[in-house]
Chain A
Amino acid sequence: MRRRRLTVLALLLSAVITLLVGVPARAQDQPVRGGTIVVAIVADPGHLNPAITTSGATHAASELIYNGLLGRDERGDPVPELAESWQVEQGGAVYRFRLRDGVKWHDGKPFTAADVKFTFEEVLLKFHARTRASMGSLLAAVEAPDDRTVIFRFKQPYAPLLYQLEATEAPIIARHLYQGSDPQTNPANGNPIGTGPFEFVSYTKGTEIRLARNPAYFKPGLPYPDALVMRIIPDLSVQVLALENGEADFLWELPGPLLSRIKSDTRFQTARTGYHPGGSNCIMTMSFNLERPILKEVRVRQAIAHALDRQAFLSQILFGEGKVATAPISSEISWAHAAGLALPRSDRAEAERLLEGVGWKKEGEGPRTARGVPGVPDGTRLSIDFLHFPAFAKYGELVRQQLGTVGISVVLRPLEPAVFAPTVFKDRNFDSNVISYCNGPDPEIGVRRMYHSSQIGPAPFTNAAAYRNPRVDALFDDASRTVEREKRSRLYRQIQEIVVQDVPYYWLVETVNTRAWTARCSGFRAWTGLFAEGAFCRR
Chain B
Amino acid sequence: MAGLLVLNFCIIHLAPGDPAIALGGEHGDAAYYASLRSRFGLDRPLPEQLLTYVSNVLHGDLGTSFVHGRSVTRVIAERVPATLLLVGTALVLSSVAGVALGILAAGFRRRSVGVTLNVAALLGYATPLFWLGQIALLAPAVGTGLFPVQGMTDARHPQTGLAHLADVLHHLVLPAVVLAINELALTMRLVRTGLLEALGADYVRAARAKGLPEALVVRHALRNVMLPVLTVIGSRAGMFLSGAVLVEVVFAWPGLGRLLLSSLLSRDYPVLLGMFLIMSVGVVLANLITDLTYARLDPRIHYQ
Interface residues, chain A, with chain B CB atoms under 8 Å away: 36, 38, 43-44, 46-47, 53-56, 129-130, 132-133, 136, 184-185, 189-190, 204-208, 229, 231-235, 237-239, 241-242, 244-248, 278-279, 415-419, 421-423, 445-446, 449, 458-461
Docked Cα-Cα span, A248 to B154, in Å, equals: 10
Known contacts A278-B25, A445-B27, then 18 further A-B pairs from the complex at CB < 8 Å, ordered by chain A residue: A44-B262, A54-B25, A54-B26, A129-B26, A205-B79, A229-B156, A231-B151, A234-B249, A235-B250, A245-B140, A247-B149, A248-B155, A418-B21, A418-B22, A421-B21, A422-B16, A458-B33, A459-B27
Q: Can you give 20 A-B contacts (C-beta < 8 A)?
A: A53-B23, A54-B28, A130-B27, A132-B32, A184-B39, A205-B254, A206-B254, A207-B152, A208-B151, A231-B252, A238-B149, A242-B150, A244-B142, A245-B140, A245-B145, A247-B155, A416-B265, A418-B16, A418-B265, A460-B26
| Contact indicator A422/B156 (Cβ below 8 Å) | no
| Residues of B1-58 whose CB lies within 8 A of A | 16-19, 21-30, 32-33, 39
Give Cα distance in the complex from A189 to B28, angstroms. Answer: 21
Q: Decide: A53 and B252 in contact? CB cutoff 8 A.
A: no
Q: Which residues on the B side are within 8 Å of A234 (C-beta)?
A: 249, 252, 258, 261-262
- Check A422–B26 contact: CB distance below 8 A: no
Q: Given that A38-B156, A184-B69, A241-B141 are contacting pairs, would A206 and B258 also be in contact in the complex, using a CB cutoff of 8 Å?
A: yes
Which 4 pairs of residues, A with B, have the shortest CB-CB distance?
A206-B254, A129-B28, A418-B17, A461-B26
B107 proximity list for chain A (CB < 8 A)? none
- Of all chain B residues, the one with the shortest Cβ separation from A44 is B262
Judge whether B267 is part of the interface by a CB distance below 8 angstroms: yes
Q: How large is the interface on B (under 10, 10 to 19, 20 to 34, 35 or more residues)?
A: 35 or more
Contact call B69/A207, Cβ cutoff below 8 A: no
Q: Which residues of A contact B100 (CB under 8 A)?
A: none
CB distance from A348 to the nearest CB of B (A): 34
Q: B68 contacts A205, CB within 8 Å?
A: yes
Contact among A422, A445, A459 with B29 in the assembled complex (CB-CB below 8 Å):
A459
A29 to B51 alpha-carbon distance, docked (Å) = 64
Q: Would you give the shortest CB distance from B70 to chain A, in whole angstroms? A: 8
Residues of B within 8 A of A445 (CB): 27
Contacts of A417 in B (CB 8 A): 21-22, 265
| Contact indicator A185/B265 (Cβ below 8 Å) | no
Q: Determine if B25 and A53 form an interchain contact, defined as CB atoms under 8 angstroms apart.
A: yes
B187 proximal to A (CB < 8 A): no
* Residue ranges of B at the interface with A (Cβ–Cβ < 8 Å): 16-19, 21-30, 32-33, 39, 65, 67-70, 75, 78-79, 82, 134, 137-138, 140-142, 145, 148-156, 249-252, 254-255, 258-259, 261-262, 265-267
Closest Cβ of chain A to B244, distance in Å, is 13
Could you tell me if B17 and A206 are in contact, using CB atoms closer than 8 angstroms? no
Name the distance in Å between A511's Cβ and chain B's nearest Cβ.
15
Q: Which of B24, B78, B249 contacts A205 (CB 8 A)?
A: B78
Which of the residues A54, A133, A245, A415 comes within 8 Å of B148, measured between beta carbons? A245
Q: Is the CB of B30 within 8 A of A207?
A: no
Task: Please measure, in the bound complex, the distance between the C-alpha atom of A150 and the C-alpha atom of B252, giving whole angstroms.
Answer: 44
Shortest CB–CB separation between residue A203 and chain B, in angstroms? 11
Task: Known contacts A231-B150, A245-B140; decide if A133 and B28 are in contact (CB<8 Å).
Answer: yes
A419 to B16, CA, bound (A): 6
For the complex, what is the distance from the CA of A459 to the CA of B142, rounded to whole Å? Answer: 46
A293: min CB distance to chain B, Å: 26
Known interface pairs A418-B21, A422-B21; A46-B254 also in contact (CB < 8 Å): no
A247 near B151 with CB under 8 A, answer: yes
Q: A242 vs B261: C-alpha distance in the bound complex, in angstroms? A: 21
Contact indicator B255/A206 (Cβ below 8 Å): yes
**Separation of A459 and B261 alpha carbons in the complex (Å):** 26
In Å, the complex CA distance between A207 and B32 comes to: 31
- Report chain A residues within 8 Å CB of B151: 207-208, 231, 233, 247
Contact of A207 with B254 in the complex, beta carbons under 8 Å: yes
Q: Which of B29, B82, B138 contacts A132 (CB 8 A)?
A: B29
In the bound complex, CA of A55 to CA of B22 (Å): 9
CB distance from B15 to the nearest CB of A (A): 8
- When the two chains form their complex, are residues A449 and B249 in contact, meaning their CB atoms are under 8 A apart? no
Question: What CA separation (Å) do A189 and B142 show in the bound complex?
Answer: 40
B67 touches A458 (CB 8 A): no
State whether A133 touches B27 (Cβ < 8 A): yes
Residues of A within 8 A of B261 (CB): 234
Residues of A within 8 A of B141 (CB): 241, 244-245
In contact, B262 and A459 (Cβ under 8 angstroms): no
**With A36-B156, A129-B32, A238-B137 given, is the CB distance from A54 to B27 under 8 Å?**
yes
Docked-complex contact B68 and A238, CB < 8 angstroms: no
* Closest Cβ neighbor of B74 among chain A residues: A205
Q: Determine whether the beta carbon of B75 is less than 8 Å from that of A205.
A: yes
Q: Which residues of A contact B68 (CB under 8 A)?
A: 46-47, 205
**Cα separation A446 to B27 with both chains bound (whole Å):** 8
Asked whether, in the complex, the Cβ of A235 is within 8 Å of the Cβ of B28, the reply is no
Q: With A233-B150, A245-B145 in contact, is A204–B249 under 8 Å at CB?
A: no
Return chain A residues, CB-CB under 8 Å to B19: 418
User: Could you say which residues of chain B place their CB within 8 Å of the CB of A204?
Assistant: 254
Chain B positions within 8 Å of A239 at CB level: 150
Alpha-carbon gap, A384 to B137, bound state (A): 42
Tell me the bound Cα distance from A417 to B267 in angstroms. Answer: 10
Given contacts A204-B254, A205-B68, contact A279 B26 (CB under 8 A): yes
A130 to B24, CA, bound (A): 10
A242 to B174, CA, bound (A): 14
Are A461 and B27 within 8 A (Cβ)?
yes
- Residue in B closest to A189 when the chains form the complex, CB atoms: B69
Cα A448 to Cα B304 in complex, Å, equals: 73
Tell me whether B21 and A460 are in contact (CB under 8 A): yes
Which of A184, A208, A278, A461 meets B155, CB within 8 Å? Answer: A208
| Complex contacts, A133 vs chain B, CB 8 Å | 27-29, 32
Q: Which residues of A contact B70 (CB under 8 A)?
A: 190
Which A residues lie within 8 Å of B249 (CB)?
Answer: 234-235
> In angstroms, how far is the closest chain A Cβ from the Cβ of B131?
12
- Smallest Cβ distance from A406 to chain B, in angstroms? 32
User: Which of B25, B67, B265, B266 has the most chain A CB within a 10 Å cutoff?
Assistant: B25
Chain B, Cβ-Cβ closest to A134: B27
Note all chain B residues with C-beta closer than 8 A to A244.
141-142
Closest CB in chain B relative to A134 CB, distance in Å: 8
- Shortest C-beta distance, A10 to chain B (Å), equals 40
**Central interface residue in B69, B82, B249, by most chain A CB within 10 Å:** B69
Bound Cα distance A412, B148 (Å):
39
Whether A449 and B27, one on each chain, are in contact in the complex, defined by CB atoms closer than 8 angstroms, is yes
Q: How far is the CB of B149 from the nearest CB of chain A, in Å?
A: 5
**CB <8 Å contact, B153 and A207:** yes
Shortest beta-carbon distance, B156 to chain A, in Å? 5
Give the nearest-CB partner of B264 in chain A: A416
Please measure, in the bound complex, the distance between the C-alpha atom of A205 and the C-alpha atom of B152, giving whole angstroms.
12
Min C-beta distance of A56 to chain B, whole Å? 8
Contacts of A245 in B (CB 8 A): 140-141, 145, 148-149
- Report which of B67, B82, B251 forms a contact with A46, defined as CB distance below 8 A: B67
- The complex places the Cα of A432 from the Cα of B119 at a distance, in Å, of 50
Query: CB < 8 Å: which of B39, B69, B79, B150 contacts A206?
Result: B79
* B18–A247 touching, CB < 8 Å: no
